[in-house]
A and B are shown apart, each in its own frame.
Chain A
Amino acid sequence: MTALRQTWQVYMRGMRVFRRQPAYLGMTLFQPIIWLLLFGALFKAVTKIPGFHGSYINFLTPGVVIMLAVFSAGWTGMGFIEDINGGVMDRMLASPVWRGALNAGTVAYGAFMIAIQTAMIVLLALILGADFKGGVGGVLLLIVIASLLGAAVTSLSNGVAMLARQRETLIGAVTFVQLPLTFLSASLMQGSLLPGWIKTVSKFNPVNWAVEAGRSVAMEKTDWGLVGSRVGLLAALALLCAMFATRAFTKYQRSL
């Protein structure tokens, strides 16, 4: 109970920034539009590649949802670095607050952002003529899947932030990981058209797990076996990353 209340308080910290900084809010809302339109225009011709089936907007939408989840979650750790620099982190750690709540609150906030961005993308995709076979339930499941991946990335980002304590290091780590993970997956290109080695690598890529499962629930006749296994993998990963983030607090305190 206390853990939940404390998680809620940490979540509210993020929400306050979101509500009170109009520029931030605007960027969060419009970023999805830009990505979807940009990639939609850029990759329109891929439908002409032999072996590609279906409409590209149907194909692309879940890919962009997952990609944005990774992108926005990756930067969460910046908040921790600001907290460290401002003395907020030390104050929180000198209190009996449950360490897990400090991470879980930002994960919850990340899930909220992912939900909003996904809703924006879905709306725009509908206007562009996408056909969501999974219906409302499928879209909701897509949000859950994106949030699970987002949770893992958020925790990872938080943990790295606590260990590195420097913006530059976190920026380096995030940019190093984000784009390769996105492109080593079927986010933007149909899995059967990926080069062999990328196909192999993508089997171990959590971004690809999320894309496959998300596409299946939202756009296709859902393959529940595939969705179940991918969601299981993502949940396990999210838990592992949360443990890493919580342990990072102890590491950080050792170094004080």
Chain B
Amino acid sequence: MEVAIEAQGLRKTYPPAVTALDGLSLAVGTGTIFALLGPNGAGKSTTVRVLTTLTRPDSGSARVAGIDVLADPVSVRRAIGVVGQKHGSDPEATGRENLVLGGEFYGITGRELAQRVSEGLERFGLVDAADRPAKTYSGGMQRRLDIAMGLLHRPQVLFPDEPTTGLDPEARVDMWREIERLAAQELMTILLTTHYMEEADRLASELAIVDRGRIVAAGTPEGLKSDLKGDAIHIELAEPGDAEARLALERVAEIDEVALDEVTLDGRTLRARARDGGAAIPAVLAALEAHGVRAASVTVARPSLEEVYLRHAGRAFHQAEIGYGEVAA
């Protein structure tokens, strides 16, 4: 595999004592779509800021398109396109003016620039809105303008940071198609960040789960899911007394008929993993019943990225997001 992006042991702390990156390493193959998946505050955006030369790590090294980001940031900037989390377009300028401004910043001028600007407007369906100020654009149009600006200088590597946050479902699907097209037809390397499991699952040929500034798992979405070895069983207990719940945990863990793994209790939710979830349910329910513990609901889930995250980060994805919110507030 030819490597387009590689990072080794990136560390970065913000004063007074926030560790954003805690020895993060990754490698992204040329022409692939690579997703950094994780809750808000996990370190995804900081990773992108380091790789796009916006900031420097405290320690560690990184190369993008074969160029060292610390030693030669200007060359890296020429080789990459950045689509930030916030809109990078000047709201007072029109779509066309924004593209011209962006192009000039990369040293593209004259007829060459004019041609690329009209190509960009056409390709992203902005021809009619080309001469309207960007502040009048809808969310989807803004995002398309952002991508058009990121592509104008024909970068080898594109960094979309949370590309579909805030988009309606239709615009989101459009964005996914465009990203897939860029990788497939233009052999562009794309490193995107997302906190949508679904997005990483659908788009990424490879993904890395980021948690607390490190990568806790990496691989193809399929590979990561099959590593889970089996289905997840969730049982909501009807009487959530502490004693009953602990009893239920012990009973389920002792079942011999089916092989259960990773039996855990989280509040009133009992979780377990079985090679064939559907077949294990009757035995589990029977064991609970025999000891007077009632189940309110039972679900069996095929392996999902949600499950992958839970396993590697040691907590549920939505809880990590909530936790971040509390810290941030």
Q: Chain A: residues with CB nearer than 8 A to chain B?
A: 2, 5-6, 9, 12-13, 16-17, 20, 85-88, 90-97, 253-256
Contacts and interface: CB of A to CB of B under 8 A. Distances in A.
Contacts of B203: none
A176 B49 CA distance: 35
A153 B56 CA distance: 30
A88 B88 contact: yes
Contact of A90 (B56, B88, B91, B105): B88
Nearest to B153: A95
Contacts of B52: 94
Interface residues of B, number: 33
Contacts of A2: 107
Contacts of A9: 100-101, 104-105
B55 A256 contact: yes
B46 to A, nearest CB: 8
B74 A96 contact: yes
Contacts of A87: 84-88
A90 B84 contact: yes
A2 B106 CA distance: 9
B16 to A, nearest CB: 13
A52 B100 CA distance: 55
Contact of A91 (B74, B104, B149): B149
B101 A256 contact: no
A6 B85 contact: no
B55 A5 contact: no
Contacts of B56: 253-254
A253 B93 contact: no
A211 B18 CA distance: 49
Contacts of A254: 55-56
A95 B86 contact: no
B104 A6 contact: yes
B101 A94 contact: no
27 contacts: A2-B107, A9-B101, A13-B92, A13-B93, A13-B101, A20-B133, A85-B86, A86-B86, A86-B87, A87-B84, A87-B88, A88-B87, A88-B90, A90-B82, A91-B88, A91-B89, A91-B102, A94-B53, A94-B54, A94-B80, A95-B102, A95-B106, A96-B105, A97-B106, A253-B54, A253-B55, A256-B55
Contact of A88 (B74, B85, B89, B107): B89
Given A90-B54, A91-B84, A16 B92 contact: yes
Contacts of A16: 92-93, 97
Interface of B: 14, 49, 52-56, 74, 77-78, 80, 82, 84-93, 97, 100-102, 104-107, 109, 133, 149
A92 to B, nearest CB: 7
Contacts of B91: 86
Q: Is the interface of B mostly helix, strand, loop or mixed?
A: loop
A90 B161 CA distance: 12
A16 B92 CA distance: 7
Given A5-B104, A86-B88, A95-B105, 6 more contacts: A5-B109, A9-B100, A9-B101, A91-B102, A93-B54, A253-B56
B78 A96 contact: yes
B208 to A, nearest CB: 21
Contacts of A90: 54, 82, 84, 86, 88
A137 B106 CA distance: 39
A22 to B, nearest CB: 14
A90 B45 CA distance: 12
A9 B101 CA distance: 6
A20 B94 CA distance: 11
A97 B105 contact: yes
B54 A256 contact: yes
Contact of A256 (B49, B74, B109): B49
A16 B52 CA distance: 29
A94 B97 contact: no
Contacts of B86: 85-87, 90
Contacts of B78: 96
Contacts of B87: 86-88
A97 B92 CA distance: 20
A12 B94 CA distance: 12
A91 B84 CA distance: 7
A2 B104 CA distance: 8
B143 to A, nearest CB: 12
B82 A91 contact: yes
A25 B103 CA distance: 29
A193 B44 CA distance: 63
Contact of A17 (B77, B82, B92, B106): B92
A86 B97 CA distance: 17
Contacts of B105: 6, 9, 92, 95-97
A117 B106 CA distance: 34
B192 to A, nearest CB: 15
The 5 closest A-B pairs by CB, nearest first: A87-B86, A91-B88, A256-B55, A97-B105, A94-B82
Nearest to B133: A20
Contact of B77 (A85, A88, A95): A95
